[in-house]
Amino acid sequence: MLGVRLDPDTEKALDRFAHRSRRSKSDIAREAIRRYVHQKDAKLVAEARLQSLRAAARGWSAEDEEWEALAAANDEPDRSSE
């Protein structure tokens, strides 16, 4: 079970859309979340493949120190959105 709070404008827009499309708000939210998760997951997989290809092109192996540095850098929290 998931509860989501929306700002008033988004809630009104969702109400209107649900009414016009003759669908429930839950059905619309389910579809939107499913699409969002699928899209974001596909992007993560693509990025992982790209990083692996770049590493292979550099001749890196799993034991290389560069991997450890890259992993450490990726473990740091992303503060750009704060």
Residue-range domain boundaries for the chain: 32-75
Most confident region among 1-5, 44-48, 71-75 by mean pLDDT:
1-5
Give pTM, 2 decimals: 0.57
How much is the pLDDT for 32?
95
Strands (E), 26-76: none
User: At residue 62, what are phi and psi to the nearest 5 degrees?
Assistant: -65, -20
Question: If you ran DSSP here, which 8-state letter would residue 82 be given?
Answer: -
Residue with tokens 């700002």: 7
Report the SS3 class of residue 60. Answer: coil
- Joined together, the tokens standing for residue 9 give 């404008």
Distance CA 10, CA 19 (A): 14
Query: Is the pLDDT assigned to residue 34 strictly greater than 70?
Result: yes
CA separation for the pair 17, 67 (Å, rounded): 48
